[in-house]
Amino acid sequence: MTDSYARGATEPALIEETIGDFFDAMVAKQPDALALVSRHEGVRRSYRALQAEATQLASALLATGLVPGDRVGIWSHNNLAWVLMQIATAKAGLILVNINPAYRTAEVEYALNKVGCKALVTMPRFKTSEYLAMLRELGAARLPQLKNVWWIDRAEDADEAGFDIPLARLSQLLASGNANDARVAQVQQGLKATDPINIQFTSGTTGFPKGATLTHRNILNNGFFIGECMKLGPQDKLCIPVPMYHCFGMVLGNLACLTHGSAIVYPNDGFDPLLTLEAVQAERCTGLHGVPTMFIAELDHPRFAEFDLSSLRTGIMAGTACPIEVMKRVVSQMHLGEITIAYGMTETSPVSCQSSTDTPLERRVSTVGTVQPHLEVKVVDPESGATVPRGERGELCTRGYSVMHGYWGDEAKTREAIDAEGWMHTGDLATMDAEGYVNIVGRIKDMVIRGGENIYPREIEEFLYRHPKVQDVQVVGLPDRKYGEELCAWVIAKPGQQLTEEEIREFCKGQIAHYKVPKYIRFVTEFPMTVTGKIQKYRIREQMSVELGLVAERTA
């Protein structure tokens, strides 16, 4: 019987340039074409204008004393500043560190210190998140390597009070740069495609996030082949409501567009279904990205029928399994006949499998497509490592250009994830059919995917253990109609202590991201265990699902 192994196409060839060089070549080809529309900021940029501004920012960053290889954080939702930072840091050889805007003090302190960020570009605030206030609270003592903070400002904004880390407006930094700075070209010439250029944090199974380090070659090629899969071209406008701090927005969105001369359209800073529908209609977008919950929110919006979405053709649905009925509605009611499904992980830049625009609908919803060009995938027995026959389940492994450079500052964890032969072990259980279509059927490491956010229960458990009244805690994912999964915590209180759900939630407030705070909290005296003392999380899931009347609506 055939093994569960597949190798992608070898044409077109891999790009062996840096992001800066490839982008500059695209600008030379079509300088006046539309590159970016940021609707909430009232911003429109041609390819030439975007290049000039990004080069000016690269010049300004280098003038502050930053040198290639230094880490620069960005803590922001989607806006012009984000894409400028993405291009500018790539040109200057600086490693852009994506900080999740949902992070709170403990998380941002860990992330900035883990990779040694020397500078940070941040929104001053967003909704209830006060980013500058969090940085003030941490201060130079707790962020010893951070030398500069620039906040994303508008002309009408009042000045922000400084603190013990130098603070300035991003507009001031940009104004100090020179779009014709010869030093930028000189630095750019000295960069290699294999240089690390981006760090993204993945929730850690041991309680701390790991910094997946990606190169120009990793993400530029992945963005290119994703765009190829969607048949993008200069005539396309891609609406991107998914966040930039994930690979989804940054690679499947920005880089897929910039490698094909397409236009990027940001409907808003954070996701808003109405503003997304308005952007698609107003800009005549041909593509739309989203996780299933986003598409559901758009389809179910009371004003959905008012919008003309007939310009739509393609896009990507990813993040978690898509219910078949939702996919059918997306195709029939949103005109997305060529929407594709993508599967991947941050450590593989991210996509390793994707359906194509002409994959039959049933296959598109029941699988994650086939292997991408220049990559290999196989399904192995998690115990023996042997490749399993087609149709049998095992752990999915990926090899090729997309596999990350490594986890920043953590060789041991890198070796655990990438074996001696270069295979990245995903931790996902999968099957491969006779035609090479891959289906994700579960997860080895109990990861929870809530609305496209990857959450490792161990990280939440480690945090809750810090509560003075908590003796033990187990966190699992439960099925949820809206988000795919929600977190549930079973807590054992210390002897003689009384604990309430409110106390647990209050403990989490401001310390961990809102999506990591368990929706369901139960106080118990023991956990279900095997005879050898191993906790049976699946039994917690089963019991809670029955108790709460929850039924999984999944296709994978």
Residue 485's CB is within 10 A of a number of other CB atoms, namely 23
* Domain interval for residue 531: 448-548
CA distance 200 to 5: 28
Is it the case that residue 229 has pLDDT exceeding 80? yes
Q: Is residue 346 part of a domain?
A: no
CA distance 223 to 214: 13
Compute the half-sphere exposure of residue 473: CA atoms within 13 Å on the CB side of its CA: 26
Last residue of a domain, one of 152, 168, 191: 191
CA distance 68 to 94: 5
User: pTM of the full predicted structure?
Assistant: 0.87
Last residue of a domain, one of 158, 191, 224: 191
The encoded tokens of residue 491 equal 């807590």
Q: Is residue 522 part of a domain?
A: yes
Residue 228's CB is within 10 A of a number of other CB atoms, namely 18
Percent of the chain with pLDDT over 90: 82
Is it the case that residue 68 has pLDDT exceeding 50? yes
Q: Is residue 476 part of a domain?
A: yes
Quick check: 149 and 140 in contact, CB under 8 A?
A: no
Mean pLDDT of 20-38: 98
Would you place residue 320 in the very low, low, confident or very high pLDDT band (cuts 50, 70, 90)?
low
Backbone angles phi, psi at 98, to 5 degrees: -80, 120
Supply the CATH number for residue 106's domain: 3.40.50.980
Mean pLDDT of 534-540: 82
Backbone angles phi, psi at 41, to 5 degrees: -105, -5
Question: For the segment 105-130, what is each residue's pLDDT rounded down to a tens digit?
Answer: 999 999 999 999 999 999 999 999 99
Q: Is residue 516 part of a domain?
A: yes
CA distance 488 to 519: 6
Q: Is residue 351 part of a domain?
A: no
Our count of domains for the chain comes to: 2
My answer on whether omega of the bond before 12 falls inside 30° of 0, hence cis, is: yes
CA distance 365 to 527: 36
Pair type for strands 424-432 and 394-400 = antiparallel
The encoded tokens of residue 83 equal 């894409």
Q: Is residue 313 part of a domain?
A: no
Last residue of a domain, one of 168, 191, 214: 191
Q: Is residue 94 part of a domain?
A: yes
Mean pLDDT of 460-468: 89
**DSSP of 295-362:** HHHHHT-TTGGG---TT--EEEE-SSPPPHHHHHHHHHHS--TEEEEEEE-GGGSSEEEE--TTS-HH
Supply the CATH number for residue 460's domain: 3.30.300.30
Question: For the segment 398-410, what is each residue's pLDDT rounded down to a tens digit?
Answer: 999 999 999 999 9
